[in-house]
Amino acid sequence: MRTWMLALAAGLVLPRFLPALPAQWFCAALAAVGLLLLLRHRWVAPGLFLLGLSWACYQSQSAIDDRLPASMDGRTFWIEGRVVGLPSRIGNVVRFELDDIQSRHAGLPSKVRLSWYDGPLLQAGERWRLAARLKRPHGMVNPHAFDYEAWLLARRIGATGTIKAGERLTAS
């Protein structure tokens, strides 16, 4: 049983160390082979390893696909969404995450992290209509330092931005 858990964990962690994600068809083939190996009771650990690997690759690719397209980088959009999590206020800047995003523009990510300079107090659950200048997530590549881009990807945040104007639609 312990070997099975280690095999699954190794499959889930492996994509973090790959230079690039495998193609979607390859991940689907890995999942099929993993399921076939699970049917053979003697090959449970390799089957779990392949299922974990294919699941992690699928989730990673779906998070990458939900990012702001390069053609929309740096543009201002009117978006409507719900504040999730606890907004943080440091000085005169309010930082928060907006989820369940609706807009006239197709291709926007489903979750963004926004900064509002001299903005009002926000609470989780409120719906807002905001004019936000969005940009693709990026971080500094410094060895042994905090990887902001990986942190955003792990939280499935597809864009960051600053608020130009906004109005509260509903309170929490």
Cα–Cα separations (whole angstroms), residue 18 to 65, 130, 151: 18, 38, 17
d(CA 130, CA 164): 8
* CA 117 to chain centroid: 24
The pLDDT, as a whole number, for residue 81 is 92
The pLDDT, as a whole number, for residue 172 is 66
Residue that wins the pLDDT comparison between 172 and 115 = 115
| pLDDT tops 80 at residue 140 | no
Q: Kind and range of the H or E element at 4?
A: helix 2-13
Q: Does this model's pTM top 0.85? A: no
Provide the greatest CA pair distance for the chain.
Answer: 62
Q: What is the pLDDT of residues 5-54, one digit of tens each?
A: 888 888 888 888 888 888 888 888 888 888 888 887 778 888 889 889 89
Contact 114, 96 (CB under 8 A): yes
The pLDDT, as a whole number, for residue 94 is 92
The pLDDT, as a whole number, for residue 130 is 93
Mean pLDDT computed over every residue of the chain: 87
